[in-house]
Structure 1
């Protein structure tokens, strides 16, 4: 299998640095879920890493996307173009879904957060729905009612090695300008600690890039 492919693109290095990780993970997870068209509830990282990647990638595969984020990030996530945006701190996810999209369940949940909301994410799946996970920044230890599993027959997938062809698809999206970057901030390498602090503060939406060399024109 070829490990190198020439890419024809007009984006600067800062924009290109954002693409491979989040977009590749999302494209790979979408291959595993295999439920399109359908509704997808996605919970991005608190720093907003995933919304600008997951919504375009999934919409081009026929999905209707519903974002789940903190109230302070809602406007930025809405700007990406999902069907609806729900407050991550809502007390009843099913009711919030019903108010937002007219039903209490979705076909797919795409999650990189985990944490205390996790049981409600699983309950929000339709019978036979799919949950895919690529992170657990809010906590990896979750409460799981096995009755939900054996009565509703969900499928769980995780992020390991991307499927064959996924990276080539991603390169095509970039070349055709189907995925646009969302750059929150750029730091020279000597200011790496400031970049790390900005990442930890989680007040940004988009990606934070550190540059080891001066940017090329």
Structure 2
């Protein structure tokens, strides 16, 4: 089969489109023909080694100044098993199973849950497709049968492939923060993949949405359901007032991260699962403890998250946001455009 293999840490030269063997199934696994695979920040971060404790800069800065030295702790669970087929988002069709009792899955169009709770949902231990084992930037991928979810939808393959990572991350954040109807939710980086997903998913819960994004994306965010939108450089404490927000959804971080504590009400929640503007932040701990604020980190997806997304799609309660599709072999072009951050919605790769 054809696949994009990431040979090691570094720049775009590490992405090699080549022939590799079709995966051989082990017990409890299924083989999926990849119909479409979304592009995410996490694939770029993993290739760059951005998750290493040695890194303190933003993804974009690191991509512009790639250090060719491999970072041993640069993956989600320390060392990344290079060479690796990346690709966290997958819409596909189940071709065969390792065991007869999974035969009901054969021929079904499915979405793959990329976050696997390896020791069950009572433990936060997790591994990720495309970070810990081979993913969907290929014609075929294998995965545990428990992680494929048949879906009955009129959406196109590329639209379905835009959902898993971004929407799963956003739904997990909202689930952990226990966002409910009527709450005021501030979403930082609202035009990004996770941010735009959070706008739709929080609106679905009946929250009042305040979005932060560059000016060119304001109209689209309002169309998606944001009640108000502010520019990234706005003084949010002045615009919104102190202690005015119930929940902050922040995957941006960087030097403005600490200001969210001023905006949050007593007992408010700040939930994060990323740091695209930089992972090292400054905050006033007095704001955190004197206001009884909950600071919530999220990576491992909780059990209801992915079934929720399947239901939302099948009931047309959310809408896909696909900016552009590329042939799988054109991944370098796709990731180059992705890093420019000039798009709204997801880039999706289509295998030949």
- Same topology, TM > 0.5: yes
Provide the residue aligned with 1:67 in structure 2: 211
Structure showing greater radius of gyration is 2
* Mapping 1:5-154, distance limit 5 Å: 5-37=149-181, 38-44=183-189, 48-90=192-234, 92-98=235-241, 105-154=244-293
Runs of 4+ in 1 over 4 A off after TM superposition: none
Deviation at 1:168, TM superposition (A): 0.7
Provide the residue aligned with 2:45 in structure 1: none
The change in CA–CA distance for 1:200 and 1:5 in structure 2 (over 3 A counts) is: closer
Distance, in Å, in 2 between the alignment partners of 1:199 and 1:5 is: 28
Provide the residue aligned with 1:177 in structure 2: 316
Q: Secondary structure at the match of 2:281?
A: coil
The runs of 5 or more residues in structure 1 that have no matched partner are: none
Distance, in Å, in 2 between the alignment partners of 1:187 and 1:51 is: 23
Judge conservation of contact 1:22–1:49 (CA < 8 Å) in 2.
yes
Q: TM-score, normalised by structure 2?
A: 0.56
Matched, 1:156 2:295: yes
Q: TM-score, normalised by structure 1?
A: 0.89
The runs of 5 or more residues in structure 2 that have no matched partner are: 1-119, 121-145
Judge conservation of contact 2:170–2:195 (CA < 8 Å) in 1.
no
Deviation at 1:51, TM superposition (A): 4.2
Deviation at 1:12, TM superposition (A): 1.1
Distance, in Å, in 1 between the alignment partners of 2:240 and 2:322 is: 29
Q: State the aligned residue count.
A: 207
Deviation at 1:104, TM superposition (A): 5.7
Distance, in Å, in 1 between the alignment partners of 2:340 and 2:251 is: 18
- Higher helix fraction (1 or 2): 1
* Mapping 1:202-217, distance limit 5 Å: 202-213=341-352
